[in-house]
Structure 1
Amino acid sequence: MNVFIIGSKGIPANYGGFETFVDNLTERKKSKKINYHVACFTEEKKEDTHYNNARCFYVKVPNIGSAKAILYDLYSLKKSINFIEENNLNNTIIYILTCRIGPFIKLYRKKIKRLNIKVYVNPDGHEWKRSKWNYWVKKYWKLSERLTIKNSDFVICDSKNIEKYIKEEYGKYTPKTTFVPYGAEVIPSNIDDHNSELKEFYDKYDITPNNYFLIVGRFVPENNIELIIKEYMKTNTKKSLVIITNVSNNRFYQELLSRTSFKQDNRIKFVGTVYNQQLLKKIRENAFAYLHGHEVGGTNPSLLEALASTKLNLLLDVPFNTEVGKDAAIYFNKDNNNLSELINRIDKMSEEVRNKYSLRAKNRIIRDYDWNVITSNYEKIFEKALVEGIKK
């Protein structure tokens, strides 16, 4: 079985959920029946290479703004189909990560059918709900999601709530679905408390280990950074609020500043992004608590990393978060003063209680989100497709 994975930026993973997923899927491969081919984004012409025993094929696209990602997926799809045809490959799957190119799949449908290619898809979350998109982009995302599901043979959802939504929303297409979550590892960082890069980070932003609340996520409205900042500014805690995000002086930032005046509160610290994964893990481990305000769909990788690394986790009470956190986290809502009052209570929480939550969180990851189990489940799915193909 040859599995072509498109939709991620490729491997090795530098940053991002899908990239980390593909990295783990290929690195932990046990099956000798599966060959992975991974589309990798590049800005210069490159020849195919191998990494993690997977073939990496590079896709270069012109810089056309926000539509660049759509073009990248289309070029990746075309390259995959051409390679399958040129090499007379049988028993092939093209696994599409997220639903960016739904309206264009039908252009290749005849060729896909002639070459007996199966199309699998991971719909990710509710991209069409993201507030950063204007009305027409949201309409495109919803259309693209519908047409991707319609033209796929199998849908792999990393959230039970997303699987439920796909079955209900697109029931007329009778989609075949399954649930396989995203993963994480309960392994301590390889950085100790005396690490020079860690100390430099803390010194630069005047942060004290174990004396800060932490946010990690994209700088977008649907992650509810504004809500968290407003509520935090009402609290009595002396602890810092450290926000690791791709902050930029854009319209959202100016509106956030205008509506919260957060610069007047020296506890609130925007520290940019941290690309060193071991350093980021150590910063998570040294946080007093993690705050997770994400509300737009799917199993969020940063939430899994938090449960694997941070003792105490406070999550926005939406189905996608409660599905993952269960009793290993504490929940807040958007009601006025709900989060601020919770933080004031949490601030006095004993180390013994925090340790109990920490143990629950780590056991949750080990039991249900272990990468080895997840990659094994993927191999079973792909091998099942191989058996069905041979029977035909």
Structure 2
Amino acid sequence: MTGIKSIGILGTRGLPARYGGFETAAETIAVGLRKAGFGVIVACEEDSRRLHLPSYQGVELVYFPVKDSLRPLSEIVYDIRSLIEIGTRVDAIYMLGYGAGFFFWIARFLRKTLIVNSDGMEWKRPKFGRISRSLLRMSERLGLTAANVIVADSKCVARYVEQTYGKTPIFLPYGTPAISPPPWDPDSIMKWRPGLVDLLRPDDYYLVLARMEPDNNIDKIILGFAQTRTTRKLLLVGPCISPSYLLRLKDLARKDDRIILAGAVYDKGIKTMLRWHCAGYLHGHMVGGTNPSLLEALSAGNVVLGTDTEFNREVIGEGLELPAFYFRPEPDSIAKTIESVDPELLALREKARVWGPARIKQAYNWSDIMRGYELLFDRC
């Protein structure tokens, strides 16, 4: 090991992962680096729903307050405090995202090696207005300019960074573990959401497992599904932090008794079970590079119906036998895609059970990715 012996990982909600696939990936990286012999400190949001553990699997946890009512401003303050307080204690800072890019000079002032994960062009997200997008682009420029090393989790993002800023990122995607087929367990569903036990049957529902936000086209998926004649259910699982958007989704869902808004689930066993036993997986993400939830769907052997983006096509792979189908982020296109595959869905899933895990093993397995991270920090 070279001069870098300790690493601060900043920019996520913290450990243990609860919020989504991005946090799960960050957890795997943090724990993996600790097992490789590095000292690792992770910044965590103070949250009344989260146990304030001093450490997690050998990784030190440091907490900072974030007010939901003041996001995203509160998140920027969180990142600044993390940079200062954790930055003084480590040799290198790994910043996931560039929301606080205006302040990345702090790492240079502290004479720390700054490694920035360029994320997935956050300024493209529809939820941001014109001013927010302009600020995010400026933050991106300042943050990536300040970085000693840039990491891109997607080849599409790597090309964008190189063409825009003249810097060549290191390509290190996220990964996902192999899945052992779980049995259908009504008792687990009963403990999570008692009302779902009589509504759900294995192989008889489409699944959306994502944050419930406009960027992921959740409302358009509901509207598109409502146009179909399928007898299967649509199960939507994930947190929603926007009260107004949640009200919209509830209003749309109550018009069709096939549509189930189940809320968030943080039990990994239940999530794996829901993935494995769904007939098809609907993926509405538009931006964000390599998306962990899409990787998890492939690992579970899901038939993927997803938005037609370069990010999604890169992950799924072109010219492979993996059954995947693409739609435009419009209700009519989503409806036509569902209608076209619904009769053959279970037969298609048999192919997906083989080719999905094979794709993960080929390009997105954590063993290879963690070797890349160890090499990155050894060489910095």
Give 1:291 deviation, angstroms: 0.4
Contact kept in structure 1, 2:192 and 2:265, CA below 8 Å: no
Task: Return the match for 1:52 from 53, 57, 61.
Answer: 57
Is 1:93 matched up with 2:92? yes
Which residue is 1:390 aligned to?
none
Give 1:250 deviation, angstroms: 3.1
Matches within 5 A, 1:173-188: 175-188=167-180
3-state secondary structure, aligned to 1:192:
coil
3-state secondary structure, aligned to 2:254:
helix
**How far apart, in 1, do the equivalents of 2:333 and 2:276 lie?**
25
Which residue is 1:71 aligned to?
77
**How far apart, in 1, do the equivalents of 2:85 and 2:331 lie?**
51
**How far apart, in 2, do the equivalents of 1:52 and 1:343 lie?**
42
**How far apart, in 2, do the equivalents of 1:60 and 1:38 lie?**
14
Matches within 5 A, 1:114-133: 115=111, 117-133=112-128
Comparing 320-329 and 243-252, the one that deviates more: 243-252
Contact kept in structure 2, 1:290 and 1:310, CA below 8 Å: no
Give 1:272 deviation, angstroms: 0.8
**How far apart, in 2, do the equivalents of 1:210 and 1:63 lie?**
37
- Structure 1 pair 204–336 and aligned structure 2 pair: CA distance change class (3 A): closer
Letter in 1 for 2:41: H
3-state secondary structure, aligned to 1:56:
strand
Contact kept in structure 2, 1:122 and 1:158, CA below 8 Å: yes
Is 1:193 matched up with 2:198? no
Q: 1:161-212, CA deviations, whole angstroms, 9 ceiling, x for partnerless residues?
A: 11111111222xxx241111111112226x5324512256676131222100
Gaps of 5+ in 2: none
Number of aligned residues: 367
**How far apart, in 2, do the equivalents of 1:120 and 1:135 lie?**
28
Which residue is 1:245 aligned to?
238
Give 1:79 deviation, angstroms: 1.0
Letter in 2 for 1:287: C
Identical residues among aligned pairs (%):
30
Letter in 1 for 2:173: P
- Computing the radius of gyration from Cα coordinates, the structure with the larger value is 1
Contact kept in structure 2, 1:28 and 1:372, CA below 8 Å: no
Q: Alpha carbon RMSD of aligned pairs, Å?
A: 2.6
Give 1:58 deviation, angstroms: 3.2
Q: 1:67-105, CA deviations, whole angstroms, 9 ceiling, x for partnerless residues?
A: 111111111110123225xxxxxxx21111110111122
Q: What TM-score results when the alignment is normalised by the length of structure 1?
A: 0.85
**How far apart, in 2, do the equivalents of 1:346 and 1:167 lie?**
38
Is 1:368 matched up with 2:372? no
Which residue is 1:80 aligned to?
86
**How far apart, in 2, do the equivalents of 1:362 and 1:22 lie?**
21
Which residue is 2:263 aligned to?
272
Q: 1:312-336, CA deviations, whole angstroms, 9 ceiling, x for partnerless residues?
A: 1111110010000123222222467
- Structure 1 pair 146–62 and aligned structure 2 pair: CA distance change class (3 A): same
Give 1:245 deviation, angstroms: 2.5
**How far apart, in 1, do the equivalents of 2:36 and 2:338 lie?**
50
**How far apart, in 1, do the equivalents of 2:67 and 2:217 lie?**
33
**How far apart, in 1, do the equivalents of 2:33 and 2:76 lie?**
29
**How far apart, in 1, do the equivalents of 2:214 and 2:173 lie?**
25
Which residue is 1:42 aligned to?
46
Letter in 1 for 2:299: A
Matches within 5 A, 1:1-392: 1=4, 2-29=6-33, 34-42=38-46, 49-60=54-65, 65-66=70-71, 67-84=73-90, 92-107=91-106, 109=108, 111-112=109-110, 115=111, 117-171=112-166, 175-188=167-180, 192-199=183-190, 204-205=195-196, 206-247=199-240, 250-255=243-248, 261-326=252-317, 327=320, 328=322, 329-334=324-329, 337-349=332-344, 351-385=346-380
Give 1:39 deviation, angstroms: 2.0
Comparing 340-349 and 376-385, the one that deviates more: 340-349
**How far apart, in 1, do the equivalents of 2:295 and 2:18 lie?**
17
3-state secondary structure, aligned to 1:348:
helix
Give 1:299 deviation, angstroms: 0.9
- Structure 1 pair 16–230 and aligned structure 2 pair: CA distance change class (3 A): closer
**How far apart, in 1, do the equivalents of 2:97 and 2:281 lie?**
27
Q: 1:331-376, CA deviations, whole angstroms, 9 ceiling, x for partnerless residues?
A: 2224674332322231211644321122111111111111121111
Q: 1:96-115, CA deviations, whole angstroms, 9 ceiling, x for partnerless residues?
A: 11101111223553x23xx3
Q: 1:24-73, CA deviations, whole angstroms, 9 ceiling, x for partnerless residues?
A: 123334875532222223359x9994433333333346777111111111
Letter in 1 for 2:150: V
Give 1:152 deviation, angstroms: 0.5
**How far apart, in 1, do the equivalents of 2:193 and 2:105 lie?**
52
- Structure 1 pair 188–15 and aligned structure 2 pair: CA distance change class (3 A): farther
3-state secondary structure, aligned to 2:62:
strand
Gaps of 5+ in 1: 85-91, 386-392
Q: 1:201-242, CA deviations, whole angstroms, 9 ceiling, x for partnerless residues?
A: 676131222100111111211211232222212211100111
Q: What TM-score results when the alignment is normalised by the length of structure 2?
A: 0.88
